[in-house]
Amino acid sequence: MGNVIPHKYEITSAKRALLKKQKPLVVWFSGLSGSGKSTLANWLEKKLFAEGFHTYILDGDNIRLGLNKDLGFDQDSRNENIRRIAEVCKLFLDSGLIVIAAFITPKEKDRRIIESILGNHYLEVFVDTPLEVCEKRDVKGLYKKARNGEISNFTGISCDFEIPLNPDLHIKTESEEAEESIGRIFQYIHGRINEN
């Protein structure tokens, strides 16, 4: 790494953000599979897009099909999966975008690594949905496979999900409608992303 010297380009992150009239931010949804992370991410992007903001969504399955298709699901691979995603988010931040990330992110250690990479551009949203509700939804049939031993290291079944210690926003899907949650998230981040 000693011979890697980054080139300094004249168009800075601040200039890109100014052109887009927004402050770059990463809104990171964490929670169990089936908790509603991707649904909320999609709704939030639609709302931001309608308001004229420049956004991009990163989602677990999409990343695993491309950038991280070489990684397995053992703990070291899962840690590396999250680290790489955080680095990709950092590049998107540099471009001036608002990134919406939807990843299980079960370990507090990984969330702190994300924060160390992204700094004050990182907004942590915990989508708190009980395991039994996630299992009932089981849109992809993953819980059933995990219960049958067909999937190892599955969060909520054979791997623990560590409850976030201090998320910026805590969304309880059992007691809050999705539209209400999106409204609350949008209100929370609006001041941080609006340059005007």
Residue list, annotated binding site = 31-38
Distance CA 42, CA 100 (A): 9
The torsion angles phi and psi of 144, rounded to 5 degrees, stand at -60, -45
Residue 61, Cβ neighbours under 10 Å: how many?
Answer: 9
E-strand spans in the chain?
A: 25-30, 55-59, 98-102, 122-128, 169-172
Instruction: Please choose, from the candidates 186, 136, 178, the residue with its C-alpha nearest in 3D space to the C-alpha of residue 156.
Output: 136
Both tokens assigned to 103: 């990843």
3-state DSSP helix/strand/coil percent for the chain, to nearest 5?
A: 45, 15, 40
Residue 188: which residues within 8 A CB-CB, separation 6 or more? 123, 168, 169
Annotated binding site for ATP: 31-38
Distance CA 107, CA 111 (A): 7
